[in-house]
A and B are shown apart, each in its own frame.
Chain A
Amino acid sequence: MSGRGSIPAASLFGLLILWTVAATLTADPQVLPQPWALAGPFLRELQSGDLLYHLGATLLRVIWAFALAMAIGCALGLVMGRFEKVDRWLDPWLVVFLNLPALVLIVLCYLWIGLNETAAIIAVTLNKVPNVTTVIREGARAFDPNLDAMARVYRMSAWTRLRHVLIPQLAPFITAAARGGLAVIWKIVLVVEFLGRSSGIGFQIHLYFQLFDVAMVLVYALSFIAVMLAVEWTFLQPWERRVRRWRVA
């Protein structure tokens, strides 16, 4: 228990030291303030309610885009991994979308759909779906043919097969896609907000960027990093331990 908590803590503390040293060497709070100099602005934003409002807006977008990207990516990856014909047809699309810069997709979505929430979420989702698909497809290609044969002879229903035979085999791939996905998605959400939304962390960063307020940019960025770390530790990691239970038993 101590090993699991203490090493990340020490590692993060090291990062803090590095920051302090860099801030001391810079000696200009306009460029890089000391870590403790952020406490004041942070509390002020927290008390005014701005921080929570914008955190909530961004978090909601992240959740939507994450859920959509995972659902679509898993379904596509599963089908492409299982059926070679579909894979051959869709693979070129996948390559195109994988190589389409996030910025292009975002701008196009805003131009075609309008400067609204739907466009924002679709843009983020489209950016993430190809990655999820690629990872899940790898997993679907590695399915155990013997289990398939077993399920077939015993005439297991499609739903039971999916839930108890296929998805458990995909679990490590789903976890990998989810963790990588979450990190990428919130970064793209920030860009989306930066370019065309009037709420969210990205919007606030845009605002303080124009005001050259490094401290506030850091306050908003770090707050959201903290939220994402909390999600990782409270949801993703426990879930991963749960699905891995049978391996360590």
Chain B
Amino acid sequence: MIRIDVTSKHYGESQVLGPIAFEIAKGETVAVLGPSGIGKSTLLRIVAGIDTRFEGTVQRPARMAIVFQEPTLLPWRSVIQNLTLVHPDLSRDAAREMLAKVGIGDKADLFPGQLSLGQQRRLALARAFAGNPDFLIMDEPFVSLDAATAQTMLDLTKTLIRDVGPATLFVTHARNEAEALSARILELRGTPATLGPHLISAKEKP
């Protein structure tokens, strides 16, 4: 069980986040929606434990994984090392299998810089799922991809979530992405940002 209970978050004088509380059940996918600059990434960094300067508490499991907007790989280590260094328990065979699963099985010995941006993001996904995480956090992972690539990545993510079954928190400004992952949608709005007062009504769905 993941329980988020943030009372407030300030950057200097200005308050960015108001009271935000929600839970994510095992195997559930939750999407946090909201326009750019509302504080989605701030919330995500708090939940991930990257930002510890806030009022409130976050309960999270030990085995976590994160996918950033940028691939955030180790460019000086080979593709396969990007998996095995982050997950020391992962065997080379299992790592190769994971690379094959995201469709870059033949790139194991290249450097990340030799991959296309789409392939780098596949590697970031592989890295996230390779550790069998209990909790997966994704920060706009499909942003700045062309429509076709974004769709393939979305399908791939869906398959991986189904296979590995982590609780997933997913931040985006695109509602269709959230719906494609059949996520429970939470909306962040206002300054300081809080969760929207109403649940998403049926007519807002396509």
A154 to B45, alpha carbons, bound, how many Å?
Answer: 13
Q: Beta-carbon contacts of B122-137 to A below 8 Å, as 1s and 0s?
A: 0000010001000001
**Chain B binding surface, main DSSP class:** loop
CB of A1 within 8 A of chain B?
no
CB of B199 within 8 A of chain A?
no
Shortest beta-carbon distance from A223 to chain B in Å: 38
Identify the closest chain B residue to A153 (Cβ): B66
Shortest beta-carbon distance from A22 to chain B in Å: 47
Stretch at the interface among B27-35, B74-82, B144-152, B179-187: B74-82
In B23-72, which residues have CB < 8 Å from any A CB?
45, 48-50, 62, 64-66, 68, 70, 72
CB of B88 within 8 A of chain A?
yes
Task: Out of A146, A153, A160, A171, name the residue touching B88 (CB < 8 Å).
Answer: A160
Asked, given contacts A146-B72, A246-B76, A249-B111, whether A154 binds B48 with beta carbons under 8 Å apart, the answer is no
For chain B, give the interface size range.
20 to 34
Q: Are A149 and B85 in contact (CB under 8 A)?
A: no
Q: Are A154 and B86 in contact (CB under 8 A)?
A: yes
CB of B21 within 8 A of chain A?
no
A145 to B64, alpha carbons, bound, how many Å?
Answer: 18
Q: Are A146 and B70 in contact (CB under 8 A)?
A: yes
Shortest beta-carbon distance from A173 to chain B in Å: 14
Q: How many residues on the A side are at the interface (Cβ–Cβ under 8 A)?
A: 20
A157 to B87, alpha carbons, bound, how many Å?
Answer: 10
Task: Out of A149, A155, A164, A243, name the residue touching B74 (CB < 8 Å).
Answer: A164
Task: Out of B49, B77, B131, name the residue touching A152 (CB < 8 Å).
Answer: B49
Task: Out of B62, B110, B111, name the residue touching A155 (CB < 8 Å).
Answer: B62
CB of A225 within 8 A of chain B?
no
In A129-174, which residues have CB < 8 Å from any B CB?
146-147, 149-150, 152-157, 160, 164-165, 168, 171
Interface residue ranges, A against B (CB under 8 Å): 146-147, 149-150, 152-157, 160, 164-165, 168, 171, 243, 245-247, 249
Interface residue ranges, B against A (CB under 8 Å): 45, 48-50, 62, 64-66, 68, 70, 72, 74-77, 81, 85-88, 110-111, 113-114, 127, 131, 137
